Structure formats: structure tokens, C-alpha cells
Chain A
Amino acid sequence: MSTAVQDPARPAAPSSEPRAAAPAAERQRSWWHLPAGLTVLALAALLVFGLRAPVGRGTSFRIAAPGDLNPGGILPGDVALPAGGTAIVCAILCLLIAGVLWFFAATSRALGRRARIALIVVFGLLWITAFLAWAFSGSTVDLGSLLQTMMVLAVPLAFGSLSGVLSERAGVVNIAIEGQLLFGAFGAVLVGSLTGSVWLGLIAAPIMALVIGALLALFAIGYQVQQIIVGVVLNVFAIGITSFFYGTVMQQDPTRYNQPMRLPIISIPVLSDIPVIGRVLFEQNILVYLMWIIVAVLTVALFRTRWGLRVRSVGEHPRAADTVGIDVNRTRWSNVLLGSAVAGLGGATLTIGTGVAFGEEMSSGKGYIALAAMILGRYHPVGALLAALLFAFADALQLRLGTLPSGSGAGIPSQFLLMLPYIVTLFAVAGVVGRVRVPAADGEPYVKQ
């Protein structure tokens, strides 16, 4: 764990020089980045969300929906708050947090890592509340369904970024996540429709995605072609081939080859009735549960088992790994294949997970966002999952805001809402993360001497 999630107090050194991190006591050249960034964000929240919110309009937050497990009405149903006031209060609290961070950074005083992360998380929550109060003014924020949408959107991203983690930890750059998702989605619908069984479709998705994984491994490991090139070209290939079959075979006979099917929802009794998080966590299809399991298993496997140590050593220093008898290229092959199978499950989420038929280019850039999530999550399964949830939240927000009844809301043009996930990614990658320590041998082919 410690190798992956670096101390945010100490921005990781550039990848070329992993061991050059300055002592903690010394102030970094970039010590002011984080407080400055947070101050700007807080000021923006105050000026835009707080002061420009429509006067006299309220925003209600729905916490417990009718029918939820809510003994004695502990949780209130709808909480109505004044839009402007809420945003102003939240923004001022945000400013205070930024001030605290300024103080600690400027005086070079050490702030515990946990305290620091907690402060940043609280900042994020307050900022989002301010945004919600402003953007949904005059309407209701249904937190439960917002999170539910987020979950549905997060699953393909999470699977995709786990695929990235698997192969990049072993030193193979995986730009082809997009293609793997697309092949998974395509295979799931095709096999599911042909056999009439959605479960066979679920099995077919990872197998189909293995095709892209195998091609990536063949070219990147076997023939040592530049890995980013292979990835980009494989994405073009995957888009081309799936669109081709979509345009010909699937359109000629949609009922036979491209039928919308849906995995059954597995609802865990009692737990699924918990307000807000119940449906999100305990009333999902098998893919969502599988995602949690894979994240947990991968975290343990990568950082607590011999296999994980080998994988990471192959990604960090293949020559050393080779010297102690680890078959570098074989490890890379198996990891790339495993990763593509995981991404294939993510692809299955796009079609049989949500009950829609296959569509041309239906992954629509999700593979690249998954890649960003992986980097933002610092090549760690849990980090990748959290980053995927963040992007999915931005996306879910965009969807919800797009369907607001007219007359309410802040009237943000829909195009800017559509931009939202990408802007969040940009800020996250550039602002918050900074330099992530990439596995040292990531992207470098290994030639045995």
C-alpha cells in the first residue's frame, strides 16, 4: 500500500528520479500549490455558487425516500435549505480549511497525513454541497438516485482502470482499455443474443476482450512496438471492427444478433432498504458486486502476496526480476491478458449490465477516462476505484442537471455540463495529483540478454 499511495504531503518526485524526494522537513518548491488551488476553488464557490444563486429560492436534499428502512423517522425525508445561504456557508467553511492548510504549509509545520486527507475530503464534500445547492436551486436533489446513477456509470470506469492497474504494474502501458471495453460490450451482446442467455454473454465479454489484450501483448511484448502506439491503433481497430459488424450483421437482423438483455438485479434483503446508500451498495447486478470483489482481491494480491511482489518487480525493474528467476515477459503477458479480461467485464456493464443493445462506439471515450482514473488513483486498485467514482459522480451530476425541469436550477448550458467530467479530470490530473510515480519500467520492452 505504501508504495502506491504516496504521502500527499510530499508530492512524488518526477518519474525519472524516484529517489530524489526531499526530506519531509524541508519545504518543497511546490508547497503552495495545494493551498492556493483550494483557495481559488473556495473563492469560486463563494462568488459563483454563493453570491450568484437566485435569491429566495431553496434547494431540498432528499435523504430518505418513502419505503426506506427508517425506523421512527430518524432521518428526515426532504431537507429544504436556502440555495444561496447554504452555498455561502459551505464556501466560507471551504475558505477556512484552505486557510488552515496555508498556515501549516507556510510555517513548515507538519500536519498529520490523516488529518490532511480528512481536511481535503471535508473540503470536497462542502464544495460539492455548495455546488449542488446552487445548481439544483428550486428543485430537489435526490441523493440516493444520484449515487445510484454514479454507481452505474462508475462500474465500467472502475473495471477499465483496474485493467490498467494490472498491466501497468507489470510495465505494459495499456491505452487499449477503450478497445477492450468495446469488445467486451460487443461480445456480451452478440453471444447473449445468439444463445439467448445473458449469463453466457457475461462469460463471453472477458473472452472477447482477451482478443484485444492478446494483440496488445503480442505487439507490445512480443514485437516490442512502442506501447502507446499499439494501444491507440488497437482502439482504432476495435472501433472499426465493432462498428463494421454493427453496421452489417447486427443491423441486418437485430433480434438475432443485437438484442437488449439485462443481468438480473440481486437485491440483498434489509440492507438494500437503508436510506441513500442501500440501493447503491446492495441492490445491483452481479457485475457491481464482482467489481468490489476484484478491487479487494487485487489490493491484497498486488501488495500482500508473492505474485504481487513479482508483478511489481517486473514493472519496476525487469532486469532485477529476471536475475532472480522471474520470467518477465511471461508475467507481462499474463497480466495484460488478465487485465483485458477485467476490462471486458467493464464492457459487459455497458450493454448487458444496463440493459441496452450494442451501439456504434458506445464506449465513447470511457476507456481514456478509465486511464485517467488509474493515474489519478496512483496505480492502486482502491485509488483507481475512488477516482472512477469521482468521474462517475461528475457524469451523474451532468445527467441529473440535464433533466432538471425548466425554470429551476442555475441554467448552466448543457454543453458545459457535458464538459464537466472532463474538466474534473483535467483539474484532478493537473492540480491535485501532480506528479504520480509511474512504475519505473512502464512502457519499456524487456529484452533478455
Chain B
Amino acid sequence: MSQAIEGSARPVAPGTANEPTPPASEENARREDAATLLQRIARGNVLVVVLAFVFAFLIGSILILVASAEVRAAAGYLFARPADTFRAAWDAITGAYAAMFRGSVFDLQGFTRVREDLESRGGSGSYVWGPALLRGFKPLLETLTVATPLIIASIGMAVSFRSGLFNIGGTGQLIVGAVAAGFVGFAVSLPPVIHVLVCIAAAIIAGGLYGGLAGFLKARFGASEVITTIMLNWIAVYGLAYALTTSAFTGANKAQPTSPSVGENAVLPLIAGSQNRLHLGLLIAVLAAVFLWWLMSRSAMGFRFRAVGSNPRAAEVAGIDVGRSAIGVMFAAGALVGLAGGVHILGTEHRLTGNVAGSIGFDAITVALLGRSGPLGIVLAGILFAGLSTGGRFMESNQSVPLDLVQVIQALVVLFIAAPPLVRYLVGLRSVDRPGAPRARGRRAASPAAAAPAPSGSSAAPASSSAPEPRSAGTDTKGGTA
């Protein structure tokens, strides 16, 4: 097996490590399968994901080059001194990506500084390494902090995507959840533990009702949820802006459009030392991921949701109330996104501001898509996106490359991952998708449509039949009969 791979000069190596090896008993079949195994690797998700990132970062590099004034200046005399251009280009790209790494995962400079500082004061052993590592991984902890609400919100999105509804209303539901949690947090005074729980419950209920409103409009009046959730986003944004002008929300200082901080008992406790912002919300995020798995793969309600999502008419014939299911889906999705808002305010922000939701609501859509709406995929994708954005923020301040680059990279990654044949085409593996036989071609052509939004990774295999395609019933038969 390994010989076959080494023998081929194709860039398939990254995927090999994670590919399942065939059992040893199939000795005879192995040689015959060498070619198909190569194909399997080429078709594997890992390869596509890795290549998607490679291409996204390559395109990002081009953007950095175009944007860099130094590179453009050097390119002005490209033919006189080409080395200058290449050096400037190399510096621009490596500078930006190194800053991104330093801002999101490990800060070597901070680590070294703390270590030397402690060693000069006579420390040794774990007394030095502990704090130094903590300082070195400070960016990673920050990434996890940013990832926490993102993961929870993405899980809410995944519930709706897998049920065939496109909930674009993350921002609105997040704001409503944050407002509810924040208001209960600063306006009410309750004993410890209970206060946090009440705040979180308020966030869940508020977000659920706001999401359920879109579901109700769909079920009762047939209004497209794509439109209504977007409109509800704006209504929530301006509603929050109005709330922050009233004395009920701003407290004593009415001129300042921020609320008072939530009460001490309502704050989610920090879990990685007082230097870092990482809070208990991370645990909630993990629990939410488990909940997603349970809801969609184990509960009867989730089964109904998925049935409606994959084929509403069949579900209706089977006796499922499609309208009620739409309300339920949107309530569950909104509740989870509202929870994300609550966690965000109780753990990280502590006070309401006009921009409390940031871009979490919209990023959650991309994260859910990237994670293929599966629990593990979402957790990984959420951490990844959070890392990109914390790293991007550091890159912006350190290398003055705008943060928007990260947005472009994120979008490209999702696009590439959604279209595996394109990625393979770009690296010259076109033959995998089109080996000439019309049969294979038809199958491959149909599968991305069916698999794109559905979790096709091993993490979420049980849900692969629940692609969020309201009318995809025909796709499978097409693939099968082709």
C-alpha cells in the first residue's frame, strides 16, 4: 500500500495517515485494490479538507501580495531586480501567516519572555514551565473563548439545516438571547449558581421564541424562513439599539449606550486562571454538541425533524405534522443560538452593547456548513474559525493586513469543501471523478449535492441521510439509477 503511494508523485500524501488500512486478511485482494485504494484516498474527505485549506491560503496569499504596498513598489522594477519582488512577497506572506499563528495558537515570544523572566529570578522546573506554557498558549485559550459561543450557535444552525430549514437569523436570535440573559443578569439579584441558571434559561427561552416566530410564520403563512429570519435579524439589531437608550437597560448612565455589568453571581466562572478569559461556557458548548447528537440521532423528535427535512411530503404522508415540525425546529435552533448569546454575555462580554452579537450569527452558518452539521465537525470547525479570527485580529494589528482576509479564507474553505470534485480537478485528480465510464461519472456528479451539507465525515455518519435539502428526494434516485 505504502509503495503505491510513494510511487505516485501525486500530492495525495496528506490524506494517507488518516485513511483506514485494509485488514491483513485480504492479502490477495490487496494488490488488485491498489488502484482503487488510491482512488479512495483521492476521494477521501481528509484530502479534500487539507487541499481546501491549501488553496484557500494560496488565494489568501495572492490577496496579501496585491494589498501590500511594498510588494507593489518592488514589482515596479521587477525586471531590474526580480529578487526584491520575491523577497518582499515572501516577507509579506510569511509575516502575515506567522502573525496569524502567533495570534491564535502559540505565542513563542510571550512564552520565551516569561520563561527567561522566571529563570532569571531563580525558578526552575515546573515552576517555570507552567506559567510559561500558560502564557505561550494564551492565544489558544483566547481562541477557545471566542469559539465557545460560535460552537453553540453553529449547533443551533445545524439543527435547522439538518431539518431542511435555512435559518439565517443567527444574529437576531443571538441578540435576543443575550438581551434576556443580560437583563436577568443585571436587573435581578439571586443567590449563586441559581442566578447563572436562571439567566441561561432566560436566554434559551427568548432565543427559542424568537426563532419559533420565524417557524410559526412559515408554518402558518408559508413565509420563507430565509427572508423572515433575515428581517428578524435587523429588527433585533435596532430593537437592541433602542433598548440601550432606555433607562431600564442603561441604568444610571443614560447617555452611554451600554448596560451595567451582570451581577457577580450571574457570571460564568473562569476556568483557566484569571489571566485568560476562558470560562465555563466551553463545557456548555461541549454539552450542546452532545445534545445535538442526541437530538438528531437518538430522539424521536429529531427523527421527525430529519424526516421533514429530507422529504416533507413523505413525512406528511407518514403522519408527521410538517407545520408543527417547522415551529419545533426553529424553536430548538433559536433556543440554542439564544443560549450562545447568553453564554457570550455571561462569560465573555458581561454587559450589553449595541454590537454584542458581532458576526457570530453569520459565522455560525459557515461553521455549521464546514462542520457538515455534525457535532464533532462543528466543534472542530468552530475552533478553527475562532482561531482564524483571533489570529486575523492579531495579524491586523501586527502586520496591518485587514481582518477581512480571514473572511475570504473562511468562505473559500467552505466553498472548496462543498465541492470536492473541484478540489480534485485543481490538483489534477480529475480522473477520479470522470474515469470515462458514464456510470461512475453519474454517481460522482450526484453525490456532492447529496453530501454537501450532510455530515459525510465519520464523526456524523448516522445523519448522512438527512441532508438539508427540502426537495432533494430526486437526487438520490438519480445517483442510484445513473
Query: Which A residues are closer than 8 A to B by beta carbons?
Result: 14, 16-17, 33, 175, 215, 218-219, 222-226, 228-230, 232-234, 236-237, 239-241, 243-245, 247-249, 252, 365, 368, 371-372, 375, 413, 415-416, 418-419, 422-423, 425-426, 429-431, 433-436, 443-445, 447, 449
Contact = CB atoms under 8 A, between A and B. Distances in A.
Rank and list the top 5 A-B pairs by shortest CB-CB distance, nearest first.
A240-B407, A435-B222, A248-B67, A224-B449, A415-B242
A223 B365 CA distance: 20
B407 A223 contact: no
Contacts of A415: 238-239, 241-242, 245
Nearest to B242: A415
21 contacts: A215-B415, A219-B415, A219-B418, A223-B418, A223-B422, A226-B469, A233-B414, A237-B412, A239-B404, A240-B404, A240-B405, A241-B63, A243-B402, A244-B402, A247-B402, A248-B67, A415-B239, A419-B238, A434-B221, A436-B222, A449-B481
Contact of B407 (A14, A236, A430, A433): A236
A83 to B, nearest CB: 24
Nearest to B224: A375
B369 interface: yes
Given A219-B415, A419-B238, A224 B445 contact: yes
A422 B235 contact: yes
A225 B407 contact: no
Interface in B411-428: 411-412, 414-415, 418-419, 421-422
A228 B422 CA distance: 18
Interface string B442-482: 10011011001100000000000001111110110011011
A237 B471 CA distance: 26
B476 to A, nearest CB: 11
A418 B67 CA distance: 35
A244 B63 CA distance: 8
A445 B479 CA distance: 12
B437 to A, nearest CB: 15
B412 A419 contact: no
Contacts of A449: 442, 478, 481-482
A232 B224 contact: no
B238 A365 contact: no
A225 B452 contact: yes
Contact of B475 (A219, A234, A445): A445
Interface in B99-137: none
Contacts of B224: 375, 429
A416 B242 contact: yes
Nearest to B401: A248
Given A224-B446, A226-B418, A426 B404 contact: no
B230 interface: yes
A16 B312 contact: yes
B418 A225 contact: yes
Given A16-B312, A240-B407, A248-B402, A413 B227 contact: no
B223 A429 contact: yes
Contact of B230 (A368, A431, A434): A368
Main SS class of interface, A:
helix
A388 to B, nearest CB: 14
A444 B472 contact: yes
Nearest to A419: B238
A433 B223 contact: yes
Contacts of B414: 229, 233
Interface of B: 63, 66-69, 166, 168, 217, 221-224, 226-228, 230-232, 234-235, 238-239, 241-242, 245, 312-313, 362, 365-366, 369, 401-402, 404-408, 410-412, 414-415, 418-419, 421-422, 442, 445-446, 448-449, 452-453, 467-472, 474-475, 478-479, 481-482
Nearest to A37: B221
Contacts of B312: 16
Contacts of B419: 219, 223, 225
Contact of B408 (A224, A244, A418, A433): A244
Contacts of B449: 224-226, 445, 447
Nearest to B421: A223
Counting chain B CB atoms within 10 Å of each CB, the highest count among A215, A237, A240 belongs to A240
Given A245-B67, A431-B221, A434-B221, A447 B411 contact: no
Given A241-B63, A368-B227, A444-B471, A229 B404 contact: no
Contact of A236 (B217, B362, B402): B362
B227 A229 contact: no
B418 A247 contact: no
A243 B67 CA distance: 12
Contacts of A239: 404, 407
A430 B217 CA distance: 6
Contacts of B475: 444-445, 447
A439 B63 CA distance: 39
Contacts of A429: 217, 223-224, 227-228, 231
A372 B227 contact: yes
A32 to B, nearest CB: 13
B134 to A, nearest CB: 33
A244 B59 CA distance: 13
Contacts of B411: 233-234, 236-237, 240
Contacts of B230: 365, 368, 372
Given A241-B63, A415-B241, 13 more contacts: A16-B313, A223-B418, A223-B419, A230-B418, A233-B411, A240-B405, A244-B407, A248-B67, A249-B66, A426-B231, A435-B221, A449-B442, A449-B482
A231 to B, nearest CB: 9
A443 B235 CA distance: 28
B168 A232 contact: yes
B380 to A, nearest CB: 18
A432 to B, nearest CB: 9
Given A233-B415, A426-B231, A447 B242 contact: no
B231 A225 contact: no
Contacts of B228: 426, 429-430
Contacts of B470: 443
Interface centre among A219, A431, A434, by most chain B C-beta atoms within 10 angstroms, is: A219
A247 B66 contact: no
Contacts of B453: 226, 229
B238 A418 contact: yes
Contacts of B362: 236
A372 B234 CA distance: 14
B407 A434 contact: no
Contact of A413 (B245, B366, B478): B245
A237 B415 contact: yes
Contacts of B242: 413, 415-416
A244 to B, nearest CB: 4
A18 to B, nearest CB: 12
Contacts of A416: 238, 242
Contacts of A226: 418, 449, 452-453, 467-469
Contacts of A436: 222
Contacts of A223: 418-419, 421-422, 448
A422 B407 contact: no
Contacts of B222: 14, 434-436
A371 B452 contact: no
Q: Which of B224, B227, B419 has the most CB of A within 10 A?
A: B227
Most buried by A among B232, B401, B404: B404
A372 B68 CA distance: 39
A365 B221 contact: no
B65 to A, nearest CB: 11
A230 B369 CA distance: 10
A230 B452 CA distance: 10
A160 to B, nearest CB: 13
Contacts of B472: 444
A272 to B, nearest CB: 35
A426 to B, nearest CB: 4
A371 B227 contact: yes
A310 to B, nearest CB: 21
A11 to B, nearest CB: 8
Nearest to A424: B231
